[in-house]
Structure 1
Amino acid sequence: MKLSTQVKPISYLKSHAAQIVDEISESRQPLLITQNGEAKLVVMDVQSYEEQEQTLALLKILAMGSKEIQAGKFRNAEEVFADLDRSE
């Protein structure tokens, strides 16, 4: 979590929902909501959420590729380019 993340109790969320939407939309900084002193959820703007999801998807693809390389499931670039040249 970023150091600039604000922390507020759930009662603040309940009583300031519209203000929170405006602030988070403008600042793009997430808001950590606590309940009984425990972190319970994070409120963030949609653009930040979508960017985070795209980043996670790319990381998953990289992890899958790394596992395939470790398992020996790959071809060197020269073979791939040679196949592409032959198919033209």
Structure 2
Amino acid sequence: MRLSTRIRPISYLKANAAEILSDIAENRQPMVITQNGEAKAVLQDVASFDQAQETLAMLKLLALGQQDIEAGRTRSARDVAGRLRAKARRGND
């Protein structure tokens, strides 16, 4: 995707809003809106936005996990499994 081909001035957005929204939803490609020649906003379909937010959340979790590893805040899989089994036994009593 070449974002440079999807740049439109705000006047174009005002005059063609329905067409732009249809295009964005159909092609799932964002559009940059300019004002006075300067990029001011990016229009994106909801599905792509949701996907990007989920991706960012996953990346944040990975970064937090990496920080835990670097700080030594880890447990072995054997230790975790043992704790889970012990907890399950207590729950069954």
Letter in 1 for 2:65: G
Residue 91 of structure 2 corresponds to none
Count of equivalent residues: 87
The residue number in structure 1 matching 2:14 is: 14
- The runs of 5 or more residues in structure 2 that have no matched partner are 89-93
Structure with larger Rg: 2
Give the letter for the 1:12 counterpart: Y
Provide, for residues 13-52 of structure 1, a one-character-per-residue CA deviation record: whole Å limited to 9, x for no partner: 1110010011111111100111122111000111111111
For 2:25 and 2:14, the matched residues in 1 are separated by 17
Is 2:25 the counterpart of 1:25?
A: yes
Report the RMSD for the aligned CA atoms in angstroms: 1.5
Q: TM-score, normalising length from structure 1?
A: 0.88
| Residue identity matched to 1:56 | L
With normalisation by structure 2, the TM-score equals 0.83
Residue of structure 2 equivalent to 1:84:
84
Secondary structure in structure 2 of the residue aligned to 1:62: helix
1:3 corresponding residue in structure 2? 2
Among all aligned residue pairs of Structure 1 and Structure 2, give the percentage whose two residues are the same amino acid.
48
CA deviation after TM superposition for structure 1 residue 83, in Å: 2.3
Give 1:9 shift.
0.9
